[in-house]
Structure 1
Amino acid sequence: MNRPYAEVIGDPIAHSKSPLIHGFWLKALGIDADYRATHVTPEGLPAYFADRRADPAWRGCNITVPHKLLALDHIEDRGDVRHTIGAINLAFRAEDGAVIGTNTDGAGFYAPIADLPLAAAPVTVVGAGGAARAILFALSRVGVGPVTILNRSPLKGAGLLSTFGLKGRVLPLDAPIPPCALLVNASTLGMAGQPPFVPDLSALPDDAVVYDIVYAPLETPLLAAARARDLDTVDGLEMLVGQAAVAFEILFGRAPPHERDEELRGLLTA
């Protein structure tokens, strides 16, 4: 029997740290399986899922930009993710052989800030793509508000506020950052190969938290600006490892060895 494997798909994909994370956990737990990165274009998604369905060794795949919305058309949506979060970041083979989609981004995003008093707190989110949907879904569950979305498309941002029952407003991407308890960059701005995101943070209170989900590079201009103001920060590795942990347990049936989290972070930042 072929060796079991899972993978991460995206376009581009070379920057992904998922193979390092999952490979570290597989080795630590002694699981005889592989995890790889596979470049898949939007046009190639139908053929990709058709091929993997026919491969019994395939456990599933993590899904990154730009496929988090497109992949919904190629999987079974038994948890009705389409009408809640509206995007998936994981497809996996169920016990009955079906390929099912789910989203672990929300849980991964929220884990590092679970202790913050966010109920009724003002929040600003940059972006309105698949990651932003998962983040807004998580934030709506803890009753934040009002929420300001900065996005190129005001209509798309307003649609997300409505979808998740959040009160707030939508501003252009270059609008000044308003006072808020939590600022989240849920866009690709600041990612390697993308324009930087360097907003003026002067309106943020001293106890605000700045959270950038970009992890390549880890030290983004946004986080550097936040640290220069001595604000608390959360970097992209926190969400990346958090969502990966949920996915790993689904794909391989074992919880990651969290007692080795610091060792893993050292590898990811080397």
Structure 2
Amino acid sequence: MAKAFVVGHPIKHSRSPLIHGHWLKAYGLDGSYERIDVAPVNFGDFLASFHERGFAGGNVTLPYKEAAYLGVARRTERAQRVGAVNTLWVEDGVIWGDNTDALGFIGNLDASLGTGWEQDVETALVLGAGGAARAVVAGLQDRPLKRIFVANRTLAKAEDIARDLRPGSAVSIETSPWEALGRVIPHAQLIVNTTSLGMTGQPPLTIDLSRAPRNAVVADIVYVPLETPLLAAAAAHNLRTVDGLGMLLHQAVPGFRRWFGVTPEVTPALRAVILADLEASR
């Protein structure tokens, strides 16, 4: 029986067991997926020993994505670009790490907008400069866009992303001061919020979308609430919107394939399971 996990501290908030448990049942697989809470002082030992404990691999969530990046023996090119690891597996006796947040974000856009959406996007605007922003920029780099602007209240953090991800990129990566968003928004066919603003309990993200291109897409990686104030404002301007739940679901696909040998589908039934859990936890 294949076993996998999600490790973090704290970990009770993770919905990964619901996602993978749904797939294990749907595909009739003999396997398990469990939450493991590991204190920071013990994470290195856990990373080194999980395979000996019978696990094929697992997911890494806060606060260990950077520690996992440093602790694995091999990393995918995508993980190297992002500088964080959220998916672990063992191959030829060696622990590998990948970052599937980039794939999850792009997979959500593909599923929500249809393949080929990038043909209408020349410029993207990414709001925020944390780990999620790095993953989003890395994902967008793999599509034929011309420019990606990274905007953050602390401009130096946006400049760090541009510096780290720019080498070898066919897409121009530029930065924008937060107070200059009004000059970038009219040129951005894709606007992505990667900050926590708009999440339940956080202040809303308020930007002026009145001058956004008429064909613009506004995406939010926040999924609690499902319709954030930003997405509500975008809908009021008749702009297309993409909520953050799909990113959570699509980022789980590569890991499940690695551990259990089946490529799962993100279906309406899976989405309904997570939505029901979100509603129950309100």
1:96-127 superposed Cα distances (whole Å, 9 cap, x missing partner): 23221012222221122442135761211012
- 1:45 Cα shift? 2.3
Asked if 1:99 is matched to 2:85, the reply is no
Asked if 1:225 is matched to 2:243, the reply is no
1:212-253 superposed Cα distances (whole Å, 9 cap, x missing partner): 112233222222222222211111121111111122101211
- SS at the partner of 1:189? coil
Question: Conserved in 1, the CA contact under 8 Å of 2:193 and 2:219?
Answer: yes
2:63 to 54, 62, 66: 66
Asked if 1:48 is matched to 2:54, the reply is no
- 1:79 Cα shift? 2.8
Aligned residues: CA RMSD:
2.5
- SS at the partner of 1:117? helix
Question: Conserved in 2, the CA contact under 8 Å of 1:106 and 1:137?
Answer: yes
Map of 2:280 onto structure 1: none
Asked if 1:89 is matched to 2:86, the reply is yes
Q: Which amino acid aligns with 1:90?
A: T
Q: Quick one: structure 1 residues 232 and 87, their matched pair in 2 at CA, closer, same or farther if it must change by over 3 Å?
A: same
Distance 2:158 2:118 in 1: 24
Question: Conserved in 1, the CA contact under 8 Å of 2:198 and 2:222?
Answer: yes
Question: Conserved in 1, the CA contact under 8 Å of 2:137 and 2:148?
Answer: no
After TM superposition, the structure 1 stretch with the greater mean CA deviation from structure 2, 84-93 or 163-172, is 163-172
Q: Quick one: structure 1 residues 81 and 70, their matched pair in 2 at CA, closer, same or farther if it must change by over 3 Å?
A: farther
Q: Quick one: structure 1 residues 205 and 24, their matched pair in 2 at CA, closer, same or farther if it must change by over 3 Å?
A: same
After TM superposition, the structure 1 stretch with the greater mean CA deviation from structure 2, 9-18 or 221-230, is 9-18
1:265 to 260, 263, 271: 271
5+ residue gaps, structure 1, are none
Map of 2:206 onto structure 1: 198
Asked if 1:32 is matched to 2:30, the reply is yes
Question: Conserved in 1, the CA contact under 8 Å of 2:2 and 2:260?
Answer: no
Distance 2:46 2:203 in 1: 30
Q: Quick one: structure 1 residues 185 and 24, their matched pair in 2 at CA, closer, same or farther if it must change by over 3 Å?
A: same
Q: Quick one: structure 1 residues 144 and 80, their matched pair in 2 at CA, closer, same or farther if it must change by over 3 Å?
A: closer
Q: Quick one: structure 1 residues 170 and 42, their matched pair in 2 at CA, closer, same or farther if it must change by over 3 Å?
A: farther
Q: Say which structure is richer in helix.
A: 2
Q: Quick one: structure 1 residues 170 and 67, their matched pair in 2 at CA, closer, same or farther if it must change by over 3 Å?
A: farther
Distance 2:106 2:79 in 1: 20
Distance 1:7 1:84 in 2: 24
Question: Conserved in 2, the CA contact under 8 Å of 1:118 and 1:142?
Answer: no
Question: Conserved in 1, the CA contact under 8 Å of 2:118 and 2:145?
Answer: no
TM-score (normalised: structure 2) = 0.83
Identity between Structure 1 and Structure 2 (%): 39
Question: Conserved in 1, the CA contact under 8 Å of 2:79 and 2:99?
Answer: no
Q: Quick one: structure 1 residues 81 and 255, their matched pair in 2 at CA, closer, same or farther if it must change by over 3 Å?
A: closer
Question: Conserved in 1, the CA contact under 8 Å of 2:3 and 2:259?
Answer: no
